[in-house]
Amino acid sequence: MADPRAFISFDFDHNENEKILFLGQSKNSKTPFNIQDWSAKSAMPQSQWEKIVEEKISKCNMLIVLVGKYMASATGVAKEIRMAKDNNVPIFGVYVGGSNSQSNLPTGLQRNRTISWDWDSIASAIKQVMEEGKNS
Q: Please write down the HEC assignment for all residues of the chain.
A: CCCCEEEEECCCCCCHHHHHHHHHHHHHCCCCCEECCCCCCCCCCHHHHHHHHHHHHHCCCEEEEEECCCHHHCHHHHHHHHHHHHCCCCEEEEECCCCCCCCCCCCCCCHHHEECCCHHHHHHHHHHHHHHHHHC
Split the chain (136 residues) into runs of 10 and give each run's mean pLDDT.
Answer: 84 92 85 71 79 93 94 89 96 96 93 95 91 69
Q: Give Cα 45 to chain centroid, integer Å.
A: 22
The domain tally of the chain equals 1
pLDDT of residue 80: 95
pLDDT at residue 87, as a whole number:
96
Per-residue pLDDT, 22 = 93
Q: Which domain holds residue 92?
A: 7-32+46-135
CA atoms within 13 A on the CB side of 133: 20
> What's the predicted TM-score (pTM) here?
0.91
pLDDT at 15: 93
Q: Is residue 116 part of a domain?
A: yes
Residue 39 located in a structural domain? no
pLDDT value, residue 41: 61
| pLDDT for res 134 | 64
> What integer pLDDT is reported at residue 73 of this predicted model?
80
The CATH code of the domain that includes 26 is: 3.40.50.9200
- Look at residues 41, 53, 47 and name the one whose alpha carbon lies nearest to residue 89: 53
pLDDT of residue 28: 78
